[in-house]
Structure 1
Amino acid sequence: MYAILDIETTGGKFNEEGITEIAIYKFDGYEVVDQFISLINPEREIQPFVVNLTGINSNMLKNAPKFYEVAKRIVEITEGCILVAHNAQFDYRILRTEFRRLGFDYERKSLCTVELSKELIPGQASYSLGKLVRSLGIPVTDRHRASGDALATVKLFKLLLDKDTTKTIIKNSIKVNLKEKVAPKHLDIIAEMPATTGVYYMHQEDGDIVYIGKSNNIKKRVNQHFTNTNSKAKRLQSKVTNVTYELTGSELIALLKENEAIKRIKPRFNHALKRSIFNYALYHFVDDNGYINLKIDKADGRKKAITTFTNLQSAKSFITRADEEFELCQKLTGIYKTKNSCFHYEVKSCHGACVQEESPESYNKRVQALIDKYSYANKNMVIIDRGREVDERSAILIENGVFKGTGFYNLNYQINNLDVLESIITPMENNRDSQHIIQSYLRKHKRLKIINFD
């Protein structure tokens, strides 16, 4: 649990500042579950430059509560939380100073989104909150007011959690929480899971991840883990004390994140994605007569495939449908083994490439159309899919045929600028499995929006 906050102060000498406004959003890693926003009478003068910056003046604060009147609420809403702020050292110092004046020793773990941003989003022109969130396409209102800045920090922190592929932030959070409470029962864990699409992470007591999974209904899938009675499930159940999750909205994003996380973290109970998840591929070659032939074969990383398949049956089903869609020759696609004409030629649904009645130029145009549709080699494009919320979309970036990563953007923000798009993307590895996942998903979901870049 996190308490994401922003504080506006009077300015002045070090450790003599007073708080003029505070906003705290209690954030469970997925959504805001509580909030506290208040002006505060600092009982001291506000520096003129601060008035110009925030718009908060002494007249506005005459009837505002003094800090001691809201101190209990601040303690309660931040209890058991890690404090998160942009330049956390400043906000945490100010809070501790105010509590010290009351004779109370206020201590919390803290995280700084400036430091996290420098680590997870390197190369930004500026890491000031306003410039950073604008460069990332994060909407911000009421700049230099506590509520507006704290909300912007919430959205930035969500992006940072998404970019934290090693899950260091979450694992450290679990360690903090376990010191303060007994590990929850499995029933309690299931009750907290959402019935939506995403990736889930099963942790043992020290926070380490022992299993990673993906589901279109996380609650249902986690419930299955805790109710299965086979030996593997029982071993997993004995280790798991907490489950965290990452909502994706898009099944494609979930598949890619699961693949990436398993290969990066290598959880002890994951086995399937430690090896390649596909066995067959579609290749092409030009025969002696100049015709492009298609061939299904066992996947070979040394060869450049058009697309890949989990098993031989799905490969055969694909090439059979492609034969009809692109009016291809059964002989040249390997479906009909013959030295003469194919079966479709006999029933007059083949144009005659098998007996060289159709020219290679004419036939190859249709084969190339298939290759262009199902292979993203050398392409620059963004695949747009569902987001985690109604006003959000997900983006999968491919540059020059190489999968670069995934990200989310607000619908109010256009992503026609490649530089901005790259800044919101969480980099991911372009391996054979990620290519297979994307190609398979594109074959099954033909109505996905795709934006092509020059």
Structure 2
Amino acid sequence: MYAIVDIETTGSQPAEDRITEIAVFIHDGNQVVDQFHSLINPGRPIPFFISQLTGITDEMVKDAPRFHEVAKQIVQITEGNVFVAHNVRFDYSFLKKEFADLGFTFQRKTLCTVRLSRKLMPGLPSYSLGKLCQSVGIPLQMRHRAIGDAEATSVLFDRLLKIDADKVNDHQEEKPDTASTISSEIKTSLLPPAISREMVQALPLEAGVYYFHDEHGEVIYVGKSKSIRKRIIQHFNIDYKSKKSVEFKNRIASITYERTGSELVALLFESDEIKKRKPYYNRAQRRSVYHSGIYSYYDQQGYLRLTYQKAKTEVAPMLTMANQFQAKNFLFSRVAKYNLCQKLCDLYKSNGACFDYQVHQCKGACIGKESPEEYNQRVLEAVEAFKYDHDSFVIIGRGRNQEEKSVVVVDNGCYLGFGYVDETFTATGLEDFKGAIKPYNDNKDTQQIIRGYLRTKHNDKVLVFS
């Protein structure tokens, strides 16, 4: 039995928006045998553009039941049935969230008619519900209303059932154990429409970087993991929380990967690939230019001062930042955490005491009240927190096979790059390791990656050079 579901909502975010209409058609594998439909009062105004799209207005839902009033009916009519929808994760995620708010766990097997249509009716120009129905001649009344879309989806599903049955029958003589596409899709309904179970199973259980491509081959997302296959399965198993995240999943047409062996190399390589390729769905590390830096110097009174300014090529900053605003905010956070002086960190311009001294939060280094020795000790603690433990070192970790090792090189506090060496490789000094790597850019992200990795429990070998 199948519960074919469609919902309308106040927006595209399950965490924030609410359901305004639901329709459920029960299909027994031969025909529709039951149905349920209701408008739902979302308890909030419906945005004007949503009303324009769906035709559902505040006036229409004013006297409609709240979700909790129809929740029992929804549970009962879907109980024991496969949850079917066009872009099933969207409808399913909204219902799960509504039930979760009531303290109830809504759990059903799911089946996506987008994925199923791509498998059983390949080559169509579009698989959106409206264009798909137009392509195959299915009437679609009341578009963007739950009752109309659910009814059209039930007709589409009926056709897909028949296509699948004919396909199985055609192959029974050659292959008696031919599996139904629908039964297979129920097991893999969480996968993007163009991704098969076989494609996922072929991925390695090893560390590396993976790429999601769209139908044109363009990289739309880059990720990394200690186990590529496990991480990608996690990607597809999550409940998508917005229309954009559903769109992202549906755009994935193929997956490629690069094995790295080393988790650290995977982290560094992913960061570089994101900056180089700038994939549409990667946001956090897309910046590739760092304009500002954090510097230090001793003034004439012997105080160790911190400052932020444009990054210089001739003098390496202790830490790079995307812009002056980020650098300034970073120093403010250090001042607060280590009880430093705003004036001596270039954050307060004054000939006298800084503002913090006036409110008793600065110990007076700005007016010579605190000695350079005492003040500088806290500055050094702050600096150590965002520097490496050693100036020059090499991290030797796992390679892509048992015959090689990965090598990451840092020289004078600057990340130079990574590479691979043979198990028999011997080095007499840092220069030998430099010759074994491919150069990569040093930036705030790589610095944070290496510092963070070295603070975790790892089995890599760290060689320190003076």
TM > 0.5 between the two? no
Bigger radius of gyration among the two:
2
The TM-score, its normalising length taken from structure 1, stands at: 0.42
